[in-house]
């Protein structure tokens, strides 16, 4: 699959089954959180748009307070086909994710390997998830990983394994260890031998350059995805080497056990 646009064209053509013009979103909602783990120096905010299609929920992260309230009204009751033409990219991605969750759920039949995230406080669960994500990098161990979408638990896990990294996030700033966070991922691609990227790249339009680089150079590209968890497995073998898919409800919503679904990787 060369691009998200090509995937959308396949969905419209019926390649995945049901006509998206006949599939309607019943519920649209946002989830907003502020996080500051005990023992961590800083915190962050998240906001996610989610769409309910039958039993499936598709999601796309947005910048906090950036989504117009009218977007929820646009989505509720609309067909997937209509939402794939919506002017807001996060709405289009959430609709695509909901459709693909509906027709290609995260099951072993579709290539997913369930991985339980045990109960615990938010930091414990974040660290456990981080280990499961970093395990998807090549077993030989890359020397320098471009991390797109800074999650301190992921950086902590890379540090514990002696793997170098370049943190990159559109927000900039600094990591928990005072390292400067780059804002231009494309400028760092040539200097790294693996990429660990958030599904949020789908919603802000920065995914395609990462995919193109990985497909062209063979650089391992591992995606960790709450945004587009059902979208990104469609790119396995076409630039994406592995995916940690985490559909709604996300691990930070409660302290009980949950499941992430891993695709690809060597472990």
- Give me the pLDDT at residue 33, please: 84
Digit-coded pLDDT (tens) for 165-175: 999 999 899 99
Do both 70 and 115 map to the same domain? no
- Give me the pLDDT at residue 174, please: 92
- DSSP bridge pairs for 144: 164
What's phi and psi for 242, nearest 5 deg? Answer: -160, 155
Digit-coded pLDDT (tens) for 37-67: 666 666 678 899 999 999 999 999 999 999 9
The string over 246-259, giving b where at least 16 C-beta atoms fall within 10 Å of a residue's C-beta and e elsewhere, is bbbebbbeeeeebe
Q: Which of 103, 118, 142 is the last residue of a domain?
A: 103
Under 8 Å CB-to-CB from 119, ≥6 apart: which residues?
Answer: 125, 255, 256, 257
Q: Which of 103, 135, 151 is the last residue of a domain?
A: 103
CATH code of the domain in which 248 resides: 3.40.50.11590
The Cα–Cα gap between 49 and 29 comes to: 6
The Cα–Cα gap between 254 and 257 comes to: 8
Do both 27 and 124 map to the same domain? no
CA proximity to 111, closest of 246, 233, 240: 233
Do both 117 and 63 map to the same domain? no
Do both 149 and 258 map to the same domain? yes
Better-predicted residue by pLDDT, 203 or 253:
203
N-term to C-term CA, the chain: 24
What's phi and psi for 135, nearest 5 deg? Answer: -60, -20
Do both 216 and 152 map to the same domain? yes
Do both 193 and 113 map to the same domain? yes
pTM of the predicted structure, to 2 decimals: 0.95
Structural domain span for residue 160: 108-264
Q: What percent of the chain has pLDDT over 70?
A: 96
- Give me the pLDDT at residue 68, please: 96
- Give me the pLDDT at residue 122, please: 86
Do both 73 and 136 map to the same domain? no
Of the ranges 103-112, 120-129, 162-171, 241-250, which one carries the lowest mean pLDDT score?
Answer: 120-129
Total of domains in the chain: 2
Q: Which of 103, 118, 144 is the last residue of a domain?
A: 103
CATH code of the domain in which 47 resides: 3.30.390.10
């Amino acid at each position: 699959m060369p691009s998200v646009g090509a995937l959308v064209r396949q969905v419209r053509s019926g390649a995945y089954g049901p006509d998206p013009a006949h599939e309607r979103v019943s519920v649209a909602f946002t989830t907003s959180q502020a996080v500051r783990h005990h023992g961590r120096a800083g915190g962050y905010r998240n906001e996610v748009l989610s769409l309910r299609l039958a039993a499936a929920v598709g999601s796309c992260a947005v910048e906090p307070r950036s989504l117009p309230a009218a977007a929820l009204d646009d989505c509720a009751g609309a067909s997937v086909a209509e939402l794939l033409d919506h002017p807001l990219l996060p709405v289009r991605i959430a609709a695509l994710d909901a459709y693909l969750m509906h027709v290609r759920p995260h099951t072993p039949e579709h290539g997913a390997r369930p991985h339980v995230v045990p109960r615990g406080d938010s930091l414990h669960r974040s660290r456990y998830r981080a280990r499961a994500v970093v395990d998807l990098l090549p077993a030989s161990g890359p020397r320098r990983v471009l991390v797109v979408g800074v999650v301190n638990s992921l950086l902590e896990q890379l540090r514990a394994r002696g793997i170098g990294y370049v943190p990159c996030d559109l927000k900039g700033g600094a990591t928990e260890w005072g390292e400067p966070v780059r804002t231009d991922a494309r400028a760092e691609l040539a200097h790294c031998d693996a990429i660990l990227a958030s599904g949020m790249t789908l919603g802000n339009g920065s995914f395609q350059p990462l995919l193109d680089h990985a497909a062209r150079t063979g650089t391992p590209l591992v995606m960790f995805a709450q945004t587009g968890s059902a979208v990104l497995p469609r790119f396995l073998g076409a630039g994406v080497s592995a995916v940690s898919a985490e559909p709604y409800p996300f691990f930070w919503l409660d302290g009980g056990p949950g499941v992430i679904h891993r695709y690809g990787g060597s472990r």
